[in-house]
Chains A and B, each alone.
Chain A
């Protein structure tokens, strides 16, 4: 819901908001430029009487003196029928230059305020400001939700290019954009008189004036009592009309000045409505607050970037999202499918189930688990298809489900079935699916079928589940899922570096070139490779960025490993089919904090990729474990080069098949002091390797962190501890 509240105004108003922001950014420079040309006059240094006197010594026929909020003084005069206007040095009264308001600024202002459309245009611009306000508020809420609460708002942000830029820049400019949008909305509302601006209260014209001979303007007491910095405007009386008066407008109030005795007449102080209006006007335009104007202008400059990355994100989410046809509304469907998916593969199964149920005459509603709101009024069966993310966690489209179920409850006795998706290699296979089933039972649901699991996206197991389900509900369901393989790219092996033959751990670093264009990827992403004769792809962590011009992986040969065997035997120049699976959550956050990289065996692959791309030379510390430095010291020459050119700060390698055998965990313990110092400096930890190793590393680090009253769990909660394990 919140996301729609963010994307919808973003899509509708992207162009409008961009125009308003860019024109606003251009205008924001004006107060600063004015300030450059006009040194400020100290308070108490000059009063309006003195100013008028000095102006009078340089100009005759003065009609009006204006002081802009930024301090520029403009004198309008009419000398012998020749009307003119000049900017004036307030301290001397001397003319500086003929005054001609900039046509460019006026054009820009017109565009900003009304898109050259007059009054309807003011309304459109106001709507733009309102859209901008909605975008900044919903954006802030989304960001807080994503980072786990307002207190974590400064936490490192991960994701692909668009996600990272959108969120990082967004949080920098949030306050500025909100201020501009809010003040802009207010100003537009005053234009349409929906909110009073306090200007309706005008001082009444004085009924009586002294009508004596005019005093020299410099001597008028009412003018001598007003500080220069408070002046807005002084309008002179018509020449030769003793009945006329000076009109004086100041920051605090307006009134008239008797030209005969210099008395202040009919003075009317500004009320709080007016003061509020002027404050908001100042906050919006930066008039008299040039630095704020520039800051807001810089924030506004980010809007095109925010719009473009925002639209890209929306488009990608839409494209990646399920393409479900005949999706009935939640409240009227008799069958509901809730999906918990991290990379959308579970949606493929949901779609098969959806289509099959629809063909069998059901009205079916499919939705992400996060959208659950206990509004499934007519649902006779609820199916929950969910993957498990990381170490037994909820996948992204189900992250809120348990909380929402606890809050919204469940229709009593609601029939349901949970189907878990996972990989038996992982210790906590389908852990989240188990949690969901337990929660559904606790909420009062009636299971149609006990929890079943699907290993490695097996279509056979899925079809068997369909048969069981059919038996349970008395309606035959034949679930024929045709797995859709992502679009693959053809790659060609160009280089192989072999390690580890002598220590019984043959490991190859393989470099591929694309036959056509290399797809886009970063180190830490995954490449899926389908070995010939197999339907299931195997995934490997990438050790290079596409910018490196090649795709690099590090593969150890497993006994009976179909894909690793195939890759180890692959001759140079031979082609393979591969596709990229982004893994944006496993990469170093931007920023200068140190990075601690921990790995063993082929886990060094993505870590080496991070180091290779550490062009900013942020401190990076690598802890890595192998078997024997003489045989399987993976990436040894590269690492030495990175140490020399400071892409890598420090290398701590441990070997398990040498005299003083040690594992990477031991290296962490013996280096505890240094590690604690890094963690105190805000370091983040990235771990890559086998599940066993990751467990050992976690224990070792808990030991290291204990004196700091920290644990790996705390670091995880802060987003500073990331794992890529297999």
Chain B
């Protein structure tokens, strides 16, 4: 986990050199027991209209399956620079993914949302399995997902 954080910081430092104010956010995504193979997840920030802004985390290593993470795939263009350093393994049924990432302060309490798109082999692709406003008040409060995600929490 330390490695991931270090890599994330490094990536953050390269990608957003101009942003002075940034903080570490912990994302906790617990999956349901949906009985299926490991889920691919894309956790990303959108504006109030659902327009893609920034990728926080991508779970799942095979880029050829990313197209199943519909809205995120469209927003990010599946451009590797968008998720460079913020990706890891897919998440098994019933498992919890907990990662820490850098987030610019300007995105908090400014009408942005965190969304999760999810997909599982031989099962449905889900756009916005989770969709929660990104606010300091919402931090630490679990939000329910629609399909594969049981609950999602972000800790500022």
Q: Which of A180-212 contact B (CB under 8 A)?
A: 197, 199-200, 202, 204-205
Q: Are A103 and B124 in contact, with the CB atoms below 8 A?
A: no
Pairs across A and B, CB under 8 Å, 21 listed: A63-B124, A63-B125, A64-B124, A83-B124, A83-B126, A83-B146, A101-B122, A101-B123, A106-B122, A110-B37, A200-B63, A200-B64, A202-B67, A205-B77, A235-B70, A235-B125, A238-B50, A238-B71, A238-B127, A247-B67, A247-B70
User: Within 8 Å of chain A (Cβ to Cβ): is B106?
Assistant: no
CA distance A235 to B146 in the complex (A): 18
Give the residues in chain A near B127, CB-CB below 8 Å.
238
Give the residues in chain B near A235, CB-CB below 8 Å.
70, 125
From residue A253, how far is it (CB to closest CB) to chain B in Å? 14
Give the residues in chain A near B146, CB-CB below 8 Å.
81, 83
From residue B129, how far is it (CB to closest CB) to chain A in Å? 10
Binary contact readout B50-65 vs A (1 if CB under 8 angstroms, 0 otherwise):
1000000000000110
User: Within 8 Å of chain B (Cβ to Cβ): is A291?
Assistant: no
From residue B62, how far is it (CB to closest CB) to chain A in Å? 8
Binary contact readout B114-143 vs A (1 if CB under 8 angstroms, 0 otherwise):
000000001111110000000000000000
Q: Name the contact of B78 in the complex, choosing from A106, A110, A202, A244 (C-beta under 8 A).
A: A202
The CB with the most chain A CB atoms within 10 A, among B36, B77, B78, B124, is that of B124
Q: Are B124 and A197 in contact, with the CB atoms below 8 A?
A: no
Binary contact readout B71-96 vs A (1 if CB under 8 angstroms, 0 otherwise):
10010011000000000000000000
Q: Name the contact of A83 in the complex, choosing from B63, B64, B147 (C-beta under 8 A).
A: B147
User: Within 8 Å of chain A (Cβ to Cβ): is B35?
Assistant: yes
Name B's A-contacting residues (CB within 8 A). 35-37, 50, 63-64, 67, 70-71, 74, 77-78, 122-127, 146-147
Q: Name the contact of B37 in the complex, choosing from A63, A106, A199, A247 (C-beta under 8 A).
A: A106
CA distance A235 to B127 in the complex (A): 11
Give the residues in chain B near A272, CB-CB below 8 Å.
none
Q: Are A103 and B35 in contact, with the CB atoms below 8 A?
A: yes
CA distance A81 to B36 in the complex (A): 22
Give the residues in chain A near B64, CB-CB below 8 Å.
197, 199-200
Please tell me the size bucket of the interface on A: 20 to 34
Given A81-B146, A101-B122, A106-B122, 12 other A-B residues pairs in contact with their CB atoms under 8 A = A64-B125, A76-B124, A103-B35, A106-B35, A197-B64, A200-B63, A202-B67, A204-B77, A205-B74, A235-B70, A241-B50, A244-B74
CA distance A235 to B119 in the complex (A): 13
Q: List the A residue with the shortest CB-CB distance to B77.
A: A205
User: Within 8 Å of chain B (Cβ to Cβ): is A275?
Assistant: no
User: Within 8 Å of chain B (Cβ to Cβ): is A85?
Assistant: yes
The CB with the most chain B CB atoms within 10 A, among A197, A204, A247, is that of A247
CA distance A197 to B70 in the complex (A): 21
From residue A59, how far is it (CB to closest CB) to chain B in Å? 14
From residue A625, how far is it (CB to closest CB) to chain B in Å? 72
Give the residues in chain B near A247, CB-CB below 8 Å.
67, 70
From residue A469, how far is it (CB to closest CB) to chain B in Å? 70
CA distance A76 to B68 in the complex (A): 14
Give the residues in chain A near B67, CB-CB below 8 Å.
202, 247
CA distance A377 to B135 in the complex (A): 83
Give the residues in chain B near A103, CB-CB below 8 Å.
35
The 6 residue pairs across chains A and B that have the minimum distance between CB atoms: A199-B64, A76-B124, A101-B122, A205-B74, A103-B35, A85-B124
CA distance A106 to B36 in the complex (A): 7
From residue B93, how far is it (CB to closest CB) to chain A in Å? 11
Give the residues in chain B near A200, CB-CB below 8 Å.
63-64
From residue A250, how far is it (CB to closest CB) to chain B in Å? 14
CA distance A205 to B125 in the complex (A): 18
Give the residues in chain A near B78, CB-CB below 8 Å.
202
Q: List the B residue with the shortest CB-CB distance to A202.
A: B67
Give the residues in chain B near A205, CB-CB below 8 Å.
74, 77
CA distance A500 to B63 in the complex (A): 87
Give the residues in chain A near B125, CB-CB below 8 Å.
63-64, 76, 235
CA distance A202 to B124 in the complex (A): 20
Binary contact readout A82-115 vs B (1 if CB under 8 angstroms, 0 otherwise):
0101000000000000000101001000100000
From residue B136, how far is it (CB to closest CB) to chain A in Å? 28
From residue A74, how far is it (CB to closest CB) to chain B in Å? 9
Q: List the A residue with the shortest CB-CB distance to B61.
A: A119
From residue B106, how far is it (CB to closest CB) to chain A in Å? 25
From residue B19, how far is it (CB to closest CB) to chain A in Å? 27
Q: List the A residue with the shortest CB-CB distance to B63.
A: A200
CA distance A199 to B68 in the complex (A): 13
Give the residues in chain A near B123, CB-CB below 8 Å.
101
Give the residues in chain A near B147, CB-CB below 8 Å.
83
Q: Are B36 and A101 in contact, with the CB atoms below 8 A?
A: yes
CA distance A204 to B76 in the complex (A): 11
Q: List the B residue with the shortest CB-CB distance to A83.
A: B147
Give the residues in chain A near B124, CB-CB below 8 Å.
63-64, 76, 83, 85
CA distance A238 to B126 in the complex (A): 11
CA distance A202 to B74 in the complex (A): 11
Give the residues in chain A near B126, CB-CB below 8 Å.
83
Q: List the A residue with the shortest CB-CB distance to B74.
A: A205
From residue A676, how far is it (CB to closest CB) to chain B in Å? 63
CA distance A101 to B37 in the complex (A): 11
From residue B28, how far is it (CB to closest CB) to chain A in Å? 23
Give the residues in chain B near A63, CB-CB below 8 Å.
124-125
Give the residues in chain B near A197, CB-CB below 8 Å.
64
Give the residues in chain A near B74, CB-CB below 8 Å.
205, 244
CA distance A204 to B126 in the complex (A): 21
From residue A235, how far is it (CB to closest CB) to chain B in Å? 6
